[in-house]
Amino acid sequence: MTSNAQYLFTVYGIFAVVSVVFSFLINRLFLKFVRTLGIRNQDDTVIRWGSQSKPAVGGFSFYIIFLLSIIVYSIFFDSNQVFLSKEFIGILLATMLGFLLGLADDAYNTQPFLKLTTQITCAVILLVTGTEISLSYVEPVNYIITIFWVVGIMNSLNMLDNMDAITTTVSISIILSALGIMVLHQEFSSVYFMILLGVMCALFGFLYFNWHPSKMYMGDTGSQFLGVFLAAIGIKYLWNAEPPSGDFISARNLLLPIIVFIMPIIDTTTVVINRVMRGNSPFVGGKDHTTHALVYLGLTDRQVAMVFWFMTLISLLLVVIIEKFLGEWRHIFTVLFSLYFLFMFFIFFYATRSVKN
């Protein structure tokens, strides 16, 4: 092991341990002193899967350790990657706006139009600072896809946060997929490696309080921050991943983010389809998610969390296989991975159609 590798391993190792402990302490502190944030809709017909209202303060630890990651990286590594990078400044601004949007929603229950407008603003900030999906040669098409992706993921993670530990465990696996790609490409010195590690450790520290039976929720503060952050990471390391040689390169870069974000995408798509088929608004909450369907079919809350975590860990394995072993992309790979997604989608869709909501 070289001295540089040993230095990296030491800094990251210490930082990871400190981040988990710090996240645990932050959440414990908030749990003790903040009892009402996020509990502003107790009289609604549908609140969450659980009937008990709990503080939604988990997102604070995510954002605090996200900022701490940037500070630590600036001290121990190259601060130019932080302060002189237009792309990174854009991600910093967009995640800050996403965090503030979630905080406002937890505190005041913001109007859907304002929420959507702010989410689109997050996407536009990413676009103008260089974080753009490069899937088409026609730039306006890339703009539309980027905005749709950012807004879609922000809403998907928010909708998926309907049962204990679901969004937390899914987000951990998504981050592990991005870190896996960075490891395979030897990108250890990137600022993104540090912040991904920090946010993942923050999620692990929060998971102690969010595992069933949970003591707190991450709330919109957490899900909106994670939504824009993971959407941006998805653009950088999945949509715009360095393409291999071979046919259907664009198809490969389309399938990679779909596989990594498979559970949020399946859940949101299923919910929207079912609600539209029933003549209901897809924007009004309900207990008709894929997570709820699994409980109706006999699984416990913990088992549902394990199913979702297992599914996203399979995605992590598939990403490693794609990045490490499928150096030359072929039509057959496009067909196989498309069939995998469709198979999983129809399983969960059928589960929601087989129970009465």
Tens-level pLDDT at each residue, the chain (357 residues): 677 888 888 999 999 999 999 999 999 998 888 766 655 544 443 445 555 667 888 899 999 999 999 999 999 988 787 888 999 999 999 999 999 999 999 888 888 899 999 999 999 999 999 999 998 889 999 999 999 999 999 999 999 998 999 999 999 999 999 999 999 999 999 999 999 999 999 999 999 999 999 999 999 999 999 999 999 999 999 999 876 555 556 788 899 999 999 999 999 999 999 999 988 888 777 888 999 999 999 999 999 999 999 999 999 999 999 999 987 888 899 999 999 999 999 999 999 998 765
Domain borders along the chain are: 3-353
Q: If we measure between CA atoms, which residue out of 99, 102, 83 comes closest to residue 38?
A: 102
User: Which class for 75: exposed (0-12), middle (13-18), buried (19 or more C-beta within 10 A)?
Assistant: exposed
The model's pTM is: 0.93
CB-based contacts of 47, cutoff 8 Å, min separation 6:
41, 53
Q: CA angle at residue 184 from 82 to 2, to 5 degrees?
A: 75
